[in-house]
Amino acid sequence: MNSDVRSLAPISVPAPTARHHRRTLRLAGAMALSASASLLVVASSLATQSRLGAPLYWAWILTGLQVLAMWAAGRQKWWGWLLGACVQPVWIVYAILTGQLGFVPGCLVSAVVQLQNFLSERDASAAARHVLNSDHVAGRPRTHSWRCRFTVRRPCARSHSGNQPRALLDTLVEGAS
């Protein structure tokens, strides 16, 4: 046999987690909400004879939703980036109905960026929660800023390059003050 031939072992794929199922459900819900809102924009534009092509209130509603999404993303709410991404297809429908096609490329880019931020923030927040809930980072006691809201500390099961006993950590903290 040829020594360059590699074995054709099956690739193991990790089983989906509960967090993966929640994310999938949230994405599906956002897509359904976006499709429903797009249909509402189309239906209201057919029922109204405005010179713009769609009722003017849709611009205000969509702007309000976009501002709410930016506020929520800035406050690190899980739904902020997702709301921003699901508003973009509705903006695209509005832009097509009103003949303002210049909105379409910006909305496409915005939808991709916001969806990517939603997906990456969910992964990053899980890692950040682990570090924030642990008693130590790199073998040193954590120091908090005055804005930190994480006051309850739980013991960490993972090693952060120096998993020292709690008594030693308390000694270090008392010695530093």
Distance, in Å, from the CA atom of 105 to the CA atom of 85, rounded to the nearest integer, reads 14
In a domain, 171, yes or no: no
Number of domains in the chain: 1
- pLDDT for position 82: 94
What is the pLDDT, as a whole number, of residue 171?
61
Q: What is the dihedral sign for C-alpha 74, 79, 81, 86?
A: negative
Q: Looking at the domain assignment, is residue 58 inside a domain?
A: yes
Q: Is the pLDDT of residue 162 over 60?
A: no
Instruction: Print the domain residue range for 126.
Output: 20-132
pLDDT at 19: 80
Residues 74, 121: contact at Cβ < 8 Å?
no
Q: Does some domain include residue 57? A: yes
> Residue 170 pLDDT more than 50?
yes
Answer yes or no: is 81 within a domain: yes
- Report the range of poorest mean pLDDT among 36-45, 60-69, 159-168: 159-168
Local confidence band at 23 (pLDDT 50, 70, 90 cut-offs)? confident
> pLDDT tens, 88-132?
999 999 999 999 999 999 999 999 999 999 988 766 655 555 555
Give pTM, 2 decimals. 0.62
pLDDT value of position 32: 95
Alpha carbon distance 158, 167 (integer Å)? 18
pLDDT, tens digit, for every residue of 59-89? 999 999 999 999 999 999 989 999 999 999 9
> For the residues 16-29, what does the mean pLDDT come to?
86
Residue 77 lies inside a defined structural domain of this protein? yes
Q: Is residue 145 part of a domain?
A: no
Q: Please report the pLDDT score of residue 173 as a whole number.
A: 60
Higher per-residue pLDDT: 176 or 46: 46
Q: Which helix (H) or strand (E) holds 69?
A: helix 57-74
pLDDT digits (tens, 9 = 90+) for 41-59: 999 999 888 778 889 899 9
Query: Is residue 146 assigned to a domain?
Result: no
User: In 3D, which of 53, 57, 66, 51 has the Cα closest to residue 101?
Assistant: 53
Least confident of 150-154, 168-172, 173-177: 150-154
Query: Which tokens is 160 given?
Result: 């952060």
